[in-house]
Amino acid sequence: MAKNEHELKSWLWLWLPVGFFVFIFSSALVSEYVHATFFVGELGIIELATPIMLVPAIIIGFVIFINREKLVTKQLGYWILLVTLACLYIAGEEISWGQQLVGWGTPDWVKEVNDQHETNLHNTSSWLDQKPRLLLEMFVIVCGIYLPLKRKLQGINLPVDSWQYWLYPTIVCLPAAILAILSRMPERIKNLFDLSGVVFDVRYSEVQELYFAIFLTVYLFSIRKRQEDVPLKEKRP
């Protein structure tokens, strides 16, 4: 039986995402100037917090992969590697692979294909930006919200020796998953009903990217926690 003792401390999966959410939106509500000055932009708190949040996720992801013999199947390690590389891609793209921090010039051949004239890939094609983002959002909705709630409400405990126990996000991913979806809702409602000026000015896409990062971090840390805690003999069918 899968039990909650093999899970993370609440400060990481609950209070961190909730605290960030309150911090970000209260700043916009209290002072638009403070929010625009310190929170928005390439060197703002929100955009820098995303790659910073993903650094430990990348490290933990590679640790899980290196120790993949401690998973229910070694093949599951390659899913972990894929998620880890996705974290690396998101973090690198978020800071244009260091350009935003160091400030190097963009080569002319990159400017020709990049609509923002930055050394990144996501501004060159929707296949490297919107479509991967849509896939991640669908994963968050289905596997990060729907499945954990279904298991919780129906009292379903996945067996430790099943691949689903290791692959599916657990209930600890739920707060970050919900906030990742909610963070974009004001913008979508605003655009749907043409509510210009009603919703305060926040870069909702940046906030959602941060919560995707928090979700992936909690997800990988949760798997690592169980990888360490669950005896190997219980993982094998």
For 86-219, list the strands marked E by DSSP: none
Read out DSSP for 151-167? Answer: HHHHT----TTSHHHHH
pLDDT of residue 109: 82
pLDDT of residue 163: 93
Q: Are 201 and 36 in contact (CB under 8 A)?
A: yes
- Coil, helix or strand at residue 180: helix
Read out DSSP for 69-97? Answer: GGSSSTTHHHHHHHHHHHHHHHHHHHTGG
Of the candidates 173, 167, 138, the one whose C-alpha atom is nearest the C-alpha of residue 152 is 173
- Per domain, the residue ranges of the chain are 4-230
Low-confidence ranges of the chain (pLDDT < 70): 1-5, 196-201, 232-237
Alpha-carbon span 139 to 137, nearest angstrom: 5
pLDDT of residue 61: 98
